[in-house]
Structure 1
Amino acid sequence: MALRGLDISAESKFEFTLPKGCKIWPAPQYGQYSPHVEGSKAPNPSARRRRQSILNRPAKAAKARMARRSAVKEVGPEPSCSHLPLTPRDKPLHFLTIPGELRDMVYDLIVPRNTKIIAQNRPCFERRPGRKGSREIIRRYPLEPKIAQVSRQSRKEVLSIFYAANTFIFRRSQNRLLRNFSITDPAWLSKWFQGCPSSEFLRRVTLQFDACTRNVLYSVTFTLEKDSEEQIRAAHDFNKPQYCACLENTLVTQVLNPVTMSSNLAYVATMLAWRRRNAVLILGVRDDGADGMYRFPTARCLICHKRHPTHVGID
């Protein structure tokens, strides 16, 4: 081994004598594993192997860089000015453009009710925009279907079915707060009909008035119907043989009088309510102890000689 131009080998001889206890020099190993270094440790084969594996590991291939997008957008080809004629499109389909038969089928699904409709007048409070407080208004019930608010044409079609296909009941409200707005009062009844001109399409109307016999409260029902030939039929259900029914029979006869007969069912119902009210006011006496009902001055009728009901109501 050559070191700074000197030839050092195992056969080299020196001109000094080694002291006792001195290790043989040159040593067989050098570096950090030399026996002359204090605290030297044996080589760790696992660490050497790990270093060799890292050196022998193949280098990773460099990732290819993506080309940067150009700031200038590429301009596409200009659209051609020559084209074929466009095919004609169908007109947009609206609900009011479909045939009337199909619209009637839709109305028949959402407008008719399975039960009888009770008509009422209710007081409501409406706030006025830009003013303090609110004002009281009278609102008609039942409310008309929402589909009737789409257009004038749909309103006319829907309400004609709504009033023709349903049966409306006009009777005194059981709530004492609404007694002053009773729908059986002829004045409120006429206002209810005047509130909607479509009520001329009515075909079935029921009027119920309170009556009392021996402290038993019941209702006298008048039924008005219009058939397919625009003829009106009237009847009542007061069929108690021991009590007088002359008032009810007279009202039905007057309503069906061909001289004063009308094809408008709303007008006929209002006329029946007015005539009954006037007849009770003439024949009866108001009894404040019977919730404002009227009683007859005589116990028996002068025509049929049957007993009168104890009390009858007019509103």
Structure 2
Amino acid sequence: MKLDLSIVVPAYNEIESLESLYEAITGYIDSTDLDLQFVFVDDGSVDETYSVLCSWDLGKAHSKVVKLSRNYGSHAAIRAGIYHADADAVMVYSSDMPEPIEDADRFYKGLKEGYELVYSVRTGYRGDLGSRLFSKLVNRCIDENYPAEGLIGVAFGSKIKKELNTDIESNSSVFFQIFQMGFSRLAIEVPYLEREQGESKWTLAKKVKLFVDSFVMFSYAPIRVITSIGILLAAVGIVCAIGIIIAKLFNIFEFAAGWPTMISIMLLGFGVTNVSLGIIAEYLVRTLDAARNKKTFIVDTVMEDHAPDGR
């Protein structure tokens, strides 16, 4: 039987929250009429996450557990799940359950109404200062329609799925890539649920990496900012040079030894130069990855469990 929806669930060391996740998923399966497939992706967990996922019986729903060879990060894990999803319609759901799994019906309904992308907007949520700043920069430099509160869940149809599986980007946010495609989209409001078990694996280091990756992969703003700074500093330098020449020629004032000024100018100049080279290097590294055709993820094992009733 043709599947209605594949739900991709990435997991990394989530042993503490798996029991609650299982109860939520099985309860949802019993209440829905959709023909579902759950694609769990173990992103190189070092605890018992993979074995627990493989032991689950999801009743009438199909399931697949994809084990990656190591920890590649949540976005690579999501891409692996999308690649192994069998339904034309795909939804991404987080294992820490930030929204009710029952909302999958609402996502699927939006897709059936003709939208190629359906995404959630969080209600009752306000991120920290860093998150809000990140969102504002994303809206300004990448996509003005990207949700200011960030994404919880997203579902999409066969067109987006095909594009994602054709162009599997490394060091890239899958959500930004989806939004950049420009297909018709629908936003639905969902309540934000606080995490109850375990700790978030979304560390500061990962947030910084996503920040750098996002702006290097999807925006030319960093290069343009550095170019503008370079032009401004060059203009200031030219004006200062002309001023010094005029002052010398007409003896307007005497110059004293200005070592502090000279050091400050040199530090500023070298600092801007090094930042510029760093940003250029970020672009070159990603160009190198694309030229080498480096794999975004490597699959270790795929365990598939068809529904007992043969559906």
Q: TM-score, normalised by structure 1?
A: 0.25
Which has the bigger relative contact order, CA under 8 A and spacing at least 6? 2
Q: Which has the higher Rg, Structure 1 or Structure 2?
A: 1
Between Structure 1 and Structure 2, which shows a larger proportion of helix residues?
Answer: 2
